[in-house]
Amino acid sequence: METRMSIPHFRQQTSFNLIALLVVIGVNVMANTSTLNGLTTGEISKRYPNLFTPANITFSVWSVIYLGLLAFAGYQLWLSFSKGHEAELSAFIVRMKYWFLLNCLGNACWLFAWHYNLIWLSLLFMFLILFTLGKISANFRIAHPGAPLREKIFIHFPFGIYLGWISIATIANIFAFLVSIGWSGWGVSQVGWTIIAMIIGTVAALFMIFRHNNTWYGLACIWGFYGIILKREAALTRDSPPIIAAGTLVIAVLVLSLLMQLLRKRPLI
């Protein structure tokens, strides 16, 4: 009886999740059509140059993320409005809580902070996005092999990719913030800090792959590191060779790690 009485509330929450996602997508469209403060997200990024920034083509991963999140939104609405899924819907709401709404809020606010050159504030919102994704990942045990297939497709896949990409984006945002305040690097060169950041990102990816079987996270990190290599190859400066070499090495390590997981007969989804 308690579950049935809660169904209207559950339907309301899943509807709000969809609305929040559509708002985020709308703000992203504004951000990439120079509607938001007259500049695109990439043009703002150029104001804070650093060696960790990936090539523009790398950001196409957002298309995959948002398509996955739209599928997720459709899935949760299907749970809400189709018959016979009350228990599954209740379990979904208990685990999701309001984390996705907070995630969408952080995403939209990040864009406004970024486009109005409040880089310190954008970094705080990036941490919020990362934190909410971490909570969603933990609550749903993202990439756990025992989850139902529907959950793997509509929750594990989009949020696994999303978390991996935001982990790389957070490091890039930290670099942009440091550039904005004129950080000297404490005597370490930009190349050195970039390689250190790559190692940190790789360690995080290895932890997610081997501890949580989150291969989607690993794939997103590989894509991010590949974007850094592409950017350095296009620049062809004296800083490029060591970063390209480091990027190639960490990608090789991550690819090998993913293959090891496959050999352990754990499925990707």
pLDDT band for position 3 (50/70/90)?
A: very low
pLDDT at 125 over 60: yes
pLDDT at 20 over 80: yes
Q: 30 or 85, which is more confident?
A: 30
pLDDT at 208 over 90: yes
Q: Residues 87-105: pLDDT tens digits?
A: 899 999 999 999 999 999 9
pLDDT band for position 1 (50/70/90)?
A: very low
Q: Which residues of 240-253 are buried (b: 16+ CB within 10 A; e: fewer)?
A: bebbbebbeebbeb
DSSP 8-state class, residue 55: P
Separation of CA 244 from chain center: 23
pLDDT band for position 199 (50/70/90)?
A: very high
Separation of CA 248 from chain center: 22
Q: Residues 231-255: pLDDT tens digits?
A: 999 988 899 999 999 999 999 999 9
> What are the sequence ranges of the domains in the chain?
2-263
pLDDT at 163 over 60: yes
Q: 3 or 189, which is more confident?
A: 189
Quick one: three-class SS letters along 156-173? HHHHHHHHHHHHHHHHHH
Choose among 63, 212, 82: nearest CA to 150.
82
What pLDDT does 2 receive? 45
Question: How far apart are alpha carbons 105 and 67 in whole angstroms?
Answer: 18
Mean of pLDDT values over 13-20 = 96
N- to C-terminal Cα separation, the chain? 34
Choose among 75, 237, 41: nearest CA to 151.
75
Tokens read off for 37: 């403060």
pLDDT at 196 over 60: yes
pLDDT at 5 over 60: no
Q: What are phi and psi of 243, to 5 degrees?
A: -75, -40
Lowest mean pLDDT among 121-130, 137-146, 222-231: 137-146
215 close to 257: Cβ distance less than 8 angstroms? no
What pLDDT does 7 receive? 83
Q: Residues 29-81: pLDDT tens digits?
A: 999 998 899 999 999 999 999 999 999 999 999 999 999 999 999 999 999 99
Give me the amino acid identity at 26. G
Mean of pLDDT values over 165-172 = 98
Averaged pLDDT score across all residues of the chain: 93
pLDDT band for position 215 (50/70/90)?
A: very high
